[in-house]
Amino acid sequence: MKITAIRFAKLKVPLVTPFKTALREVSFIEDLVVIIETDKGEIGYGAAASTPVITGDTHQSILSVIKQFIAPKLLGMEIENLNQICQLIQSSVVANYSAKAALELAVYDLWGKLYQAPLYKLLGGGSKTLRTDITISVDNIDKMLSDCALAVSQGFDILKVKIGNDLQQDIERVKAIYQGFGQQTQIRLDVNQGWDAKQTVFALQKLESHNVELELVEQPVKSDDFKGLKYITERVNTPIMADESAFSPKQVIQLLEQNAVDIINIKVMKTGGLSRAIEIANITAQYQAQCMIGCMLEGSIAVAGAAHLASAKAQQISKIDLDGPALGQYDPVQGGVEFNGPAITLSDGPGLGIKSIDTLQPINDGVWPL
């Protein structure tokens, strides 16, 4: 099965509720969709969101780097040579992680179609069903409590609470949420780099003194502050997780060698694709460290790849944070992974299992053989 063309489209889905973190606020899931065609008539789908404050990627930069530096090298390559294709994608340009991830997702989708098997089975097999948390956006306390109550009524029993824009208010937010929902849910905090190391220790020790039991705290300090993460981990009982500090396998090794964190958050968009996400999962297994599989604000095309990986690597990936598609008002993808509240169900269709995508807006500027 040979790659013959690469096309692009946009996909936009309104959110049920605006998504607010310490870094940004958005009202839509907006994906750039990568469509790889083959000489056998099969089509592979990948996608990526615009995340300039996290990965540095925008839709325009993703489109540009794929067209100019990567896609022309892929034309004519055989899908069965998966490792060679992934190595070419990773080595064609520095950084540009979301661009690489979108391409790799489409290639892995075709790899599954080549062998007529769902991706999770080809990656090692696992359960067809997963259970995700749900994100509670940072807001005033009453609004966050209302959002928590709605999430619980929808069947969610793990809440990922966004904080990080005001230390004292953050502490009060967490105390109120724990008092209201701590007995019936697990609570994860995502600080989105909003505190420094001493603030984090102060906040967590204060919360611990009030018997607030958190499952984990995600990326409290700036992404390059490895010393700060270690400082925190050594002084609190609450498990600390690296997110933006852990883009690459090398960074993951450094964090685990230094005992700087307890948990690594793997995101396919952040690692640059499934190949490096798999590598990171294997590294954490060697260090007997826990992993979470996460997403940013991508739709169900991109998150499907992460879900298949989570199933196949369930021994390493014990925590699921793949609620992005569930935050949309609808899912335009037919087939593929089903996102229904906290329940995620993988398709047994080949590859990612996608049959069709509604409301795609083609970009008439693809990469075709010369």
Q: What is the pLDDT of residues 288-324, one digit of tens each?
A: 999 999 998 899 999 999 999 999 999 999 999 999 9
- Confidence band, pLDDT 50/70/90 cuts, at residue 54: confident
Buried/exposed 91-108: b ≥16 CB within 10 Å, e otherwise? ebeeebbbbbbbbbbbbb
236, 278: one domain: yes
How many helices (H) and strands (E) the chain has is answered by 13, 17
Torsion of CA 349, 355, 357, 363, to 10 degrees: 100
pLDDT tens-digit series, residues 229-264: 999 999 999 999 999 999 999 999 999 999 999 999
Q: Which residues participate in catalysis according to the annotation? A: 162, 267
Query: How far is 253 from 208, CA to CA, in rounded Å?
Result: 29
pTM value is 0.96
Q: Please say if the pLDDT value at position 368 is more than 70.
A: no
Integer Rg of the chain from CA:
20
Predicted local distance difference test score (pLDDT) of residue 23: 73
211, 144: one domain: yes
87, 191: one domain: no
Our count of domains for the chain comes to 2
169, 149: one domain: yes
- φ, ψ dihedrals at 171, nearest 5°: -60, -45
Of 200, 159, 204, 164, the closest CA to residue 182 belongs to: 159
136, 102: one domain: no
Q: Which residues contact 32 (CB under 8 A, 6 or more apart)?
A: 8, 9, 10, 47, 48, 49, 50, 59, 62, 63, 102
344, 362: one domain: no
CATH number of the domain at 288, please: 3.20.20.120
Q: Facing residues of 185 across strands?
A: none
Question: Mean pLDDT, the chain, as a whole number?
Answer: 96
Q: Please say if the pLDDT value at position 130 is more than 70.
A: yes
Predicted local distance difference test score (pLDDT) of residue 370: 45
202, 292: one domain: yes
Average pLDDT over residues 165-193: 97
Average pLDDT over residues 340-363: 96
**Domain around 279:** 121-355
Predicted local distance difference test score (pLDDT) of residue 24: 75
Q: Please say if the pLDDT value at position 223 is more than 50.
A: yes
Predicted local distance difference test score (pLDDT) of residue 369: 64
CATH number of the domain at 94, please: 3.30.390.10
Q: Token pair for residue 39?
A: 């000489």
